[in-house]
């Protein structure tokens, strides 16, 4: 029996009539030739890495801790975990205005109509034909010379045809189209997840780059002050031209750090504008600051057995596998006979007035059996090709699962290492600040020159730059982790359906109101 493989959270978006039809087709397809699809089992593993859940806590660390919480679900608006009102606003605008989501919705709507089109073959096909002709017949077919006089012929009547489909080829075609619709549904969810992840990443990139620009600008100011003092000492005979050139070279080298960071901000701003669905010249995102974001303390970790049921890329690959399975049934059914029933009823007369009289009725009813006998191996080759396509789809599905679990493992380890790096950078910054404080104290007593103070200050700013980078990377990897876990798209899918239903109701009400007027 082909079972409905859609997970419970995403049942809301597809129309109820499609879900009912899918259940009916699944029931009927149990009598069809070809394999009955069953969703592959999830990976038999208890963790994502060889050591289980990586540790993100650093003993005696002063940085904010993050903890992996096994079995906890992610909310659809996962970016709210960062507690940034400006980020929330931008993400809402992105979800509302992104054109990739609009395109994905249209593609899903198209695939649903294709399912409705395919479903029509389950019902008798009724057509009405009518015609008016003026004819002349030759008497040669009755062995007489000459020809008949011109006359008019009027016909009208219905025709009915129905394919019995005893081996379920049409049912498998419908099943294939329904699986394709499921695929497009999950592609829409994947587009949402990609959009929100990219938008949050660009916002954090802006904040990170701006923080680094501030640190570099402070370093450059220190370099300028260092150069001024060295030039003063040169005039006093306490420094050499080499010292001046070294200070000038350091200033020039540090200045090269600013253009790439400013370009990074520009690129992130433009990318965020595009994600929101606005032209970069017409909409400028906020100047995010790293201080306005709060690092989520708890990171929800789905069980490995659940991840395969909540990542839209895995579910989309599974839907493609389902479509490939149904294609085998379609190819198999072509190897067996098919029966078509037809009936027609026609009124035929030489003028319009007697057209509907009983003596002018013509009808026919019959059946046709079409059985393949010899096609030069074409049908068998089509079936083998369908089996090969299924094997390829199965391999793609397995590779998607492997890649997904690999991504989760990578980002979990990254968060563990981010915590270590951030703590190390904090200690380096504290050490540099202590050295600067001691150097300044020693300078006040006249034991060291001002250049040592400036060098200590510059080292402190470099340590602060490293700390800012490590802090930003921790935020960025947190975004990657939340999206790798599925990003709670099932909550958004339900909201998206509710919004579409509400819009449809409002449109229907408007049409009805217009009609009344």
Domain boundaries, the chain: 8-139+146-502
Q: Which backbone phi and psi does 454 adopt, to 5 degrees? A: -65, -40
452-511 confidence digits (pLDDT tens): 888 888 899 899 999 999 999 999 999 999 999 988 888 887 777 665 555 545 544 544
What tokens were used for 138? 């030759």
Length of the chain as a residue count: 517
Architecture of domain 8-139+146-502: Up-down Bundle (1.20)
Taking the alpha carbons of 490, 495, 498, 499 in that order, is the dihedral positive or negative? negative
CA 170 distance to own-chain centroid: 31
| Phi/psi of residue 160, nearest 5 degrees | -130, 135
Residue 236, judged by CB atoms within 10 A of its CB (0-12, 13-18, 19+), counts as exposed
Residue whose pair of structure tokens reads 């965020």 in the numeric block:
272
H-state helical runs in 236-303: 241-255, 258-276
* Mean pLDDT computed over 382-403: 96
Residues with Cβ within 8 Å of residue 128, at least 6 apart in sequence: 156, 157, 158, 159
Digit-coded pLDDT (tens) for 34-71: 999 999 988 888 888 888 788 777 766 777 888 888 88
- Burial code (b: 16+ CB inside 10 Å, e: under 16) for 149-186 equals eeeeebbbbeeeebbebebbbbbbbbbbbbbbbbbbbb
Segment holding 199, helix H or strand E? helix 169-235
pLDDT number for residue 1:
30
With vertex at residue 239, the alpha carbon angle to CA 235 and CA 240, rounded to the nearest 5 degrees, is: 95
Confidence at residue 502, expressed as pLDDT on a 0 to 100 scale? 56
Q: Which two tokens stand for residue 112?
A: 């649903």
Residue 14 pLDDT level (bands cut at 50, 70, 90): low
DSSP 164: -
Does pLDDT of 370 surpass 70?
A: yes
pLDDT 10s digits, 259-276: 999 999 999 999 999 999
Q: Give the residue carrying structure tokens 């449809």.
A: 504
pLDDT at residue 142, rounded to an integer: 62
More confident residue, 506 or 450: 450
pLDDT, tens digit, for every residue of 90-143? 999 999 999 999 999 999 999 999 999 999 999 999 999 999 898 877 776 666
Global pTM value: 0.84
């Amino acid at each position: 029996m082909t079972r409905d493989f859609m997970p419970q959270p995403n049942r809301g978006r597809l129309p109820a009539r499609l879900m009912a039809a899918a259940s009916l087709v699944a029931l009927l397809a149990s009598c069809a030739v070809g394999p009955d699809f069953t969703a592959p089992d999830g990976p038999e593993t208890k963790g994502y890495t060889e050591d289980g859940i990586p540790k993100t806590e650093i003993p005696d660390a002063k940085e904010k801790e993050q903890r992996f919480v096994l079995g906890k679900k992610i909310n659809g608006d996962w970016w709210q975990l960062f507690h940034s009102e400006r980020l929330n606003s931008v993400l809402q605008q992105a979800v509302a205005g992104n054109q990739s989501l609009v395109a994905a919705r249209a593609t899903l709507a198209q695939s649903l109509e294709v399912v409705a089109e395919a479903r029509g073959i389950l019902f008798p096909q009724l057509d009405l034909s009518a015609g008016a002709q003026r004819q002349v017949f030759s008497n040669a077919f009755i062995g007489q010379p000459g020809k008949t006089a011109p006359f008019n012929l009027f016909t009208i009547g219905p025709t009915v045809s129905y394919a019995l489909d005893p081996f379920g080829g049409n049912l498998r075609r419908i099943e294939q189209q329904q699986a394709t619709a499921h695929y497009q549904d999950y592609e829409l969810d994947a587009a949402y997840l990609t959009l929100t992840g990219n938008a949050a990443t660009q916002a954090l990139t802006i904040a990170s780059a701006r923080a680094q620009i501030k640190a570099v600008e402070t370093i450059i100011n220190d370099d300028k002050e260092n150069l001024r003092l060295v030039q003063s000492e040169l005039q006093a005979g306490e420094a050499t031209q080499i010292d001046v050139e070294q200070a000038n070279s350091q200033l020039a080298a540090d200045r090269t750090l600013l253009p790439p960071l400013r370009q990074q901000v520009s690129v992130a701003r433009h990318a965020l504008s595009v994600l929101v669905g606005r032209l970069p010249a017409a909409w400028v995102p906020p100047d995010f600051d790293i201080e306005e974001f709060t690092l989520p303390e708890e990171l929800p970790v789905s069980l490995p057995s659940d991840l395969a049921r909540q990542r839209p890329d895995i579910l989309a690959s599974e839907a493609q596998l389902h479509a490939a399975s149904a294609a085998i049934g379609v190819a198999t059914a072509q190897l067996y006979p098919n029966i078509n029933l037809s009936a027609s009823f026609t009124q035929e007369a030489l003028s319009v007035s007697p057209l509907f009289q009983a003596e002018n009725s013509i009808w026919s009813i019959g059946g046709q059996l079409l059985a393949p006998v010899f096609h030069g191996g074409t049908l068998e080759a089509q079936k083998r090709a369908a089996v090969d396509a299924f094997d390829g789809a199965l391999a793609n599905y397995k590779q998607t699962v492997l890649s997904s679990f690999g991504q989760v493992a990578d980002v979990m380890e990254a968060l563990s290492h981010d915590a270590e790096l951030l703590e190390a950078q904090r200690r380096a910054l504290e050490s540099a600040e202590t050295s600067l404080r001691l150097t300044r104290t020693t300078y006040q007593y006249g034991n060291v020159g001002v250049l040592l103070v400036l060098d200590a200050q510059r080292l402190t700013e470099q340590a602060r730059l490293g700390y800012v980078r490590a802090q930003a990377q921790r935020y960025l990897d947190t975004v990657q982790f939340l999206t790798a876990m599925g990003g709670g798209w099932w909550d958004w899918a339900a909201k998206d359906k509710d919004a579409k239903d509400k819009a449809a109701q409002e449109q229907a009400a408007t049409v009805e109101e217009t009609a009344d007027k």
